């Protein structure tokens, strides 16, 4: 497997720092709006909060995945790619540093999802933090550049329905495929999944 070069990693680090500065600005905006009572974030607990926390957590991940799919697909349009998404793809071999290596315009579009969601959906603060942690860990995982677990049937099942390193590595090699963030659903439904993906990942037969 080809290793990422140091200049490539350094470029990703620089873009990640730039993106992190904007994300920090978004966090400041959200916290200020929360303190002013303008968001739908809350810290109250009640007997119905536990089920709603789980439901809202999954719901926000689903909405983010849908938002990300269409935004990401738009970024790859020839008129937008150079200005919005080229920085993320300068590294031919992704590494965890590539996870948040965004040009500033892309970082703005990604960050605004979370700024908007706190004004639209009632969320417990813990749920909101859990979504942010999930996004961060998932992004790092999908940019490993290699598949750490392929031997078990559970891992193969996971790779069929959820986006992992193999699925996203194909995107970095074939720009017009695999635009999702968490789930393979939209790529499957909208014909942007590599038809050879399941064979390459050595999935068990589906009986088709």
Output the 3-class SS for 105-142.
HHHHHHHHHHHHHHHHCCEEHHHHHHHHHHHHHHHHHH
Give 183's DSSP letter: B
Predicted confidence (pLDDT) at residue 147 exceeds the cutoff of 90: no
Asked if residue 117 is part of any domain, the answer here is yes
Asked if residue 205 is part of any domain, the answer here is no
Between 44 and 177, where is the model more confident? 177
In 3D space, the residue among 108, 107, 88, 109 whose CA is nearest the CA of residue 99 turns out to be 88
Asked if residue 175 is part of any domain, the answer here is yes
**What average pLDDT does the segment 133-162 reach?**
84
Say what the pLDDT of residue 139 is.
96
Number of structural domains in the chain: 1
pLDDT tens digits for range 13-42: 999 999 999 999 999 999 999 999 999 999
CA atoms within 13 A on the CB side of 135: 21
Asked if residue 162 is part of any domain, the answer here is yes
Predicted confidence (pLDDT) at residue 205 exceeds the cutoff of 80: no
Separation between Cα atoms, residue 19 and residue 205, nearest integer Å: 41
**What average pLDDT does the segment 72-90 reach?**
94
Residues above pLDDT 70, as percent of the chain:
89
Asked if residue 208 is part of any domain, the answer here is no
Predicted confidence (pLDDT) at residue 45 exceeds the cutoff of 60: yes
Asked if residue 109 is part of any domain, the answer here is yes
Say what the pLDDT of residue 204 is.
43
Domain with 73, as residue range(s), is: 6-200
Asked if residue 158 is part of any domain, the answer here is yes
**What average pLDDT does the segment 166-195 reach?**
93
Per-residue burial over 84-96, b if 16 or more Cβ lie within 10 Å, else e, is: bbebbbebebbbb
């Amino acid at each position: 497997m080809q290793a990422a070069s140091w200049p490539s990693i350094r470029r990703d680090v620089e873009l990640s720092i730039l993106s992190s500065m904007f994300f920090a600005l978004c966090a400041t905006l959200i916290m200020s709006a929360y303190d002013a009572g303008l968001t739908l974030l809350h810290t109250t607990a009640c007997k119905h909060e536990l089920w709603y926390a789980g439901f809202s957590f999954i719901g926000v991940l689903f909405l983010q995945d849908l938002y990300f799919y269409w935004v990401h697909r738009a970024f790859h349009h020839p008129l937008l790619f150079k200005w919005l998404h080229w920085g993320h793809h300068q590294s031919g071999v992704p590494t965890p540093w590539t996870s948040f290596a965004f040009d500033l315009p892309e970082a703005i579009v990604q960050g605004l999802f979370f700024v908007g969601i706190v004004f639209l959906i009632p969320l417990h603060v813990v749920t909101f933090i859990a979504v942010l942690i999930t996004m961060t860990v998932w992004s790092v995982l999908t940019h490993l550049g290699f598949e750490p677990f392929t031997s078990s049937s559970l891992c193969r099942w996971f790779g069929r329905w959820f986006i992992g390193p193999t699925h996203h590595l194909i995107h970095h090699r074939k720009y017009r495929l695999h635009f999702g963030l968490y789930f393979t659903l939209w790529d499957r439904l909208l014909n942007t999944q590599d038809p050879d993906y399941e064979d390459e990942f050595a999935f068990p037969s589906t009986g088709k």
